């Protein structure tokens, strides 16, 4: 049953549909579609589900767990060296080394201790990975990210004290609320800190995120189909 269900997902067609919707949202807000990068979020899915996306020419992917990505991506990257991998899930300090080894972009930098360890590891290895600061835009108690009020200070600390290559900001707005004000807030934080990349928008709201200036949308379910519970 599970297999038949999986086979029913047409990843290439879904990718085309998502791209078209991004292009439409970009047009409506007088932006250019190429200014929005589509991150295909492949978490929980195996290589057999990711392969059609690679075969269709897609190269930007997101994973939220270091260990899972370590198990899955090295052979895929060997076959497709131009893959760009984004870490979009919380990063524990004891996984920071592995994250620097594997990911091109680390979107979830959210505390000084982590920033320090990433900085040391990037210096030690010479691997300068782009960093985004995650902002807890809804100020939700159990969510990762720096509170909006502290974002400017933390971004400055990452740049000055830790010399991290900070290129963007990322957020996951509260589930059950209209995301627009949160998207607007994140875009403002990016703008006033001179950060070019804004990562926001998921399967349910990526078109809205584009309207609010997202440069990176993170889309999983709309491309790869529903995820099995872990």
Ligand X SMILES: *Cc1c(COP(=O)(O)O)cnc(C)c1O
List contacts with ligand X (CB under 6 A).
Answer: 41, 43, 64, 88-89, 172, 202-203, 218-222
Indicate the SS3 state at residue 64.
Answer: coil
Complex with ligand X: residue 88 or 96, whichever CB lies closer: 88
Q: How many C-beta atoms surround the C-beta of residue 55 within 10 A?
A: 11
Q: How far is the CB of 123 from ligand X (least distance, A)?
A: 27
Q: How far is the CB of 160 from ligand X (least distance, A)?
A: 27
Q: How far is the CB of 203 from ligand X (least distance, A)?
A: 3
Residue 171 and residue 134 in contact, taking contact as beta carbons nearer than 8 Å: yes
Q: How far is the CB of 170 from ligand X (least distance, A)?
A: 8
Complex with ligand X: residue 159 or 199, whichever CB lies closer: 199
Q: How far is the CB of 62 from ligand X (least distance, A)?
A: 7
Sign of CA dihedral 70, 172, 144, 146: positive
Measured in Å, how far apart are the chain's first and last C-alpha atoms? 18
Complex with ligand X: residue 159 or 187, whichever CB lies closer: 187
- Cβ neighbours for 135, distance < 8 A, ≥ 6 positions apart: 145, 146, 147, 148, 151, 169, 170, 171, 185, 186, 189
User: Phi then psi for 49, rounded to 5 degrees?
Assistant: -85, -25
Complex with ligand X: residue 159 or 208, whichever CB lies closer: 208
Nearest to 19 by CA among 8, 29, 11: 11
Complex with ligand X: residue 156 or 178, whichever CB lies closer: 178
């Amino acid at each position: 049953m599970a297999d038949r269900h999986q086979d029913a997902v047409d990843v290439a067609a879904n990718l085309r549909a998502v791209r078209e919707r991004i292009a439409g949202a970009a047009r409506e807000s007088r932006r250019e579609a190429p200014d929005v990068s589509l991150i295909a979020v492949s978490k929980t899915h195996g290589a057999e589900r990711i392969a059609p996306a690679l075969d269709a020419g897609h190269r930007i992917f997101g994973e939220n767990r270091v260990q899972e990505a370590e198990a899955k991506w090295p052979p895929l990257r060997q076959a497709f060296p131009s893959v760009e991998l984004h870490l979009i899930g919380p990063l524990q300090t004891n996984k920071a080394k592995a994250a620097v080894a594997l990911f091109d972009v680390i979107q979830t930098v959210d505390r000084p201790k982590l920033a320090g360890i990433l900085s040391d590891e990037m210096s030690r290895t010479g691997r300068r990975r782009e960093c985004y600061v995650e902002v807890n835009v809804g100020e939700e108690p159990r969510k990762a990210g720096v509170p909006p009020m502290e974002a400017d200070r933390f971004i400055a600390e990452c740049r000055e004290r830790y010399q991290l290559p900070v290129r963007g900001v990322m957020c996951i707005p509260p589930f059950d609320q209209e995301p627009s004000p949160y998207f607007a807030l994140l875009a403002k934080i990016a703008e006033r800190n001179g950060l070019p990349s804004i990562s926001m928008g998921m399967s349910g709201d990526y078109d809205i995120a584009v309207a609010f200036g997202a440069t990176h949308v993170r889309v999983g379910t709309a491309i790869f189909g529903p995820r099995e519970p872990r």
